[in-house]
Amino acid sequence: MKRLTNAEIGEQLDLFAALLDLSGSSFYTSRAYRRAAETIRETKASIDELVAAGRVEELRGIGPGIATRLRELVETGRIVELDELQREVQPELIGLGRFLGVGPKRMVEIGKALGITTAEEFRAAAREGRLTSVSGIGPQTEQRLLAALEREGKPQPAKGMVLNRARALLEEIAAGVGGEVAGDPRRWADVSFDFGVVASAPRPGPVLAAFEAFPAIVSVVERSKRRAVGVTVEGVPVELVVAEPARFGTELLVATGTEAYVAGLGELPPGPDEESVYAQLGIPWCPPELREQPFRGEPPPLLTRAEIRGDLHMHSTWSDGKASILEMATAALELGYEYVAICDHTPNVRVVPGLDADDLRRQGEEIAAVNEALAPFRVLRGTEVDIRADGMLDLPDDVLEELDWVQLSLHAGQRQQREELTRKVTEAMRHPAVRALSHPKGRIINHRPPNALDLERTFEVALETGVALETNGLPDRLDLSGPEIRLAIEAGVPIVVSTDAHSVRGLGNMQLAVHTARRGWATAADVVNTRPLDEILPGRG
């Protein structure tokens, strides 16, 4: 039997978690499987070998129940309960139902009542007027569902998907059909509603067939000669365009930019790649991140990942991180960084472990040892110091003065009124040890709206004090957002592009942070951590 990689095992646990959600299982059960999948992907040792040695439960978050299913998967190549769930919850109907605005349980009830299991059978039942035979469905509801099935224009999900998930979904599909990511994820939008893939082929049939057979696509709701719209089990519509080779660049451009951007270009000529289309228009090629509003000018030299010299916001096991300082530093060194800052939480956060002055000094001894081992790479002693309810910083001045990198965070009081919130944050920014303000707007995408912080006033104080503002690479933050970064840059405020990594895998958030900064028109000159170490250390920036 083929040996499964850690990535393949993690994918199976993610699928198990998704089906548990659909079957109505406990939120905590499905979350446990998702966390186990993440742990497995981050583990360098072979899960196959750990299972065989009976040591898999040594991994964080792997209890006896999950260990049993891992053993079954490794030994047989399948999980029987997963197979049963796939038959029971009918992913195709559920995906179509979510696309139509019908809940999973209700969609399964409709399927059972009509004796149908596929999207095509549901579509036929709707067209034949059989939906009204199901209890609770009247003529108006049937017409609404039929209209949704037949609607024209590009369909969109009711709720946007965060960037890392959107990119992962489309990258997997694009690789499977030999295409390119398009839509919101290609512009690196923080939330995606428009999902597209563009491929090139003289004969579209095989590409469309591969798309329809792709595991992530559980239902196809539209299909024409060179276009199809498939739906995932979560109800997310993905549009595939199979362009004629001579028009691939044109179709990719159309599928990437917003309607306003594309309309501003005028009539588009055919072209095999985007560069040739822009050349025929007589304008410079435009990076996808800037294709939001009409723009025909010369784009600036946007920030690149290669220009980032260090990551100034990450956590370790001293606080709520999953890796030691040495592990985080070694991984950062392997990524080509010259320095990092360990910025664990302070006690005021409360919901996670926080470090007081004594803890930070003991942590400093560990950092010194890591620096000796990894020289000339440098780990900076840092902190993500909380702004307390009284507006004071959550550490005494003497320890703050010892640190190499101090960044502020506000974790409580996000709903305060604009004036009070702005006063508290800007007064904290005036502390002489503070170098940056983390995730200034405090949003959590799809869960908590941005706070009322007055950015214009914050920019003024940042210019007075030299405090930089962060764009935070956590996928559900991306704060500051692209438009806010552009305002900061126009005001002359320096930006820090950081990951807020809580694990080695989390260091990959730098890609999200860099592209968010690019959406704000940031160049290397605008970003603090493109500078060499001697300009980062206190008194030199």
Q: State the Cα–Cα distance between residues 284 and 301, nearest whole angstrom.
A: 12
User: Scanning the structure block, which residue is given the tokens 């599928």?
Assistant: 255
Residues 6+ apart with CB under 8 A from 78: 72
CB-neighbour burial class of residue 106 (10 A; exposed 0-12, middle 13-18, buried 19+): middle
Residue type, 295: F
For the segment 109-121, the average pLDDT, to the nearest whole number, is 85
Largest alpha-carbon pair distance within the chain?
Answer: 77
184-227 pLDDT, tens digit per residue, is 999 999 999 999 999 999 999 999 999 998 878 888 888 899 99
| The predicted structure's pLDDT at residue 513 | 98
Residue 79: count of CB within 10 angstroms of its CB: 18
- Would you say 19 and 82 are in contact if contact means Cβ atoms under 8 Å apart? yes
Q: Give kind and range of the element (H or E) at residue 465.
A: helix 455-465
Residues 6+ apart with CB under 8 A from 421: 410, 413, 414, 451, 452, 453
CATH 1.10.150 fits 90-150, yes or no: yes
Q: State the Cα–Cα distance between residues 83 and 8, nearest whole angstrom.
A: 16
For the segment 440-458, the average pLDDT, to the nearest whole number, is 94
Fold agreement (6-87, 90-150): yes
| The predicted structure's pLDDT at residue 158 | 65
492-527 pLDDT, tens digit per residue, is 999 999 999 999 989 999 999 999 999 999 999 999
Structure tokens, 351: 């919901």
The ranges assigned to domains in the chain are: 6-87, 90-150, 161-209+236-290, 305-536
Structure tokens, 322: 């999953």
Residues 6+ apart with CB under 8 A from 91: 19, 22, 218, 233
The predicted model scores a pTM of: 0.84
Residue 75: count of CB within 10 angstroms of its CB: 12
| The predicted structure's pLDDT at residue 174 | 95
- 91-100 and 80-89 are packed helices; what angle lies between their axes, rounded to 10 degrees? 50
CATH code for the structural domain at 6-87: 1.10.150.110
- Given a cut of 90, whether residue 24 has pLDDT beyond it is no
Q: State the Cα–Cα distance between residues 231 and 240, nearest whole angstrom.
A: 11
Residue 426: count of CB within 10 angstroms of its CB: 21
- Would you say 132 and 139 are in contact if contact means Cβ atoms under 8 Å apart? yes
Task: Tell me which residue of 385, 381, 355, 348 sits closest to 366, measured CA to CA.
Answer: 381
Residue 318: count of CB within 10 angstroms of its CB: 20
- DSSP symbol at 197: E
How confident is the prediction for the chain on average, in pLDDT? Answer: 92
Residue bearing the bigger pLDDT, 539 or 490: 490
What 3-state DSSP class applies to 479? strand
235-292 pLDDT, tens digit per residue, is 889 999 999 999 999 999 999 999 999 999 999 999 999 999 999 999 999 999 999 9
- 27-42 and 6-22 are packed helices; what angle lies between their axes, rounded to 10 degrees? 170
Q: State the Cα–Cα distance between residues 345 and 53, nearest whole angstrom.
A: 37
- Given a cut of 90, whether residue 490 has pLDDT beyond it is yes
Homologous superfamily (CATH) for 305-536: Metal-dependent hydrolases (3.20.20.140)
30-63 pLDDT, tens digit per residue, is 889 988 988 898 888 899 999 999 999 988 889 9
Q: Are strands 195-200 and 237-243 parallel, antiparallel or unpaired?
A: parallel
| The predicted structure's pLDDT at residue 34 | 86
| The predicted structure's pLDDT at residue 539 | 66
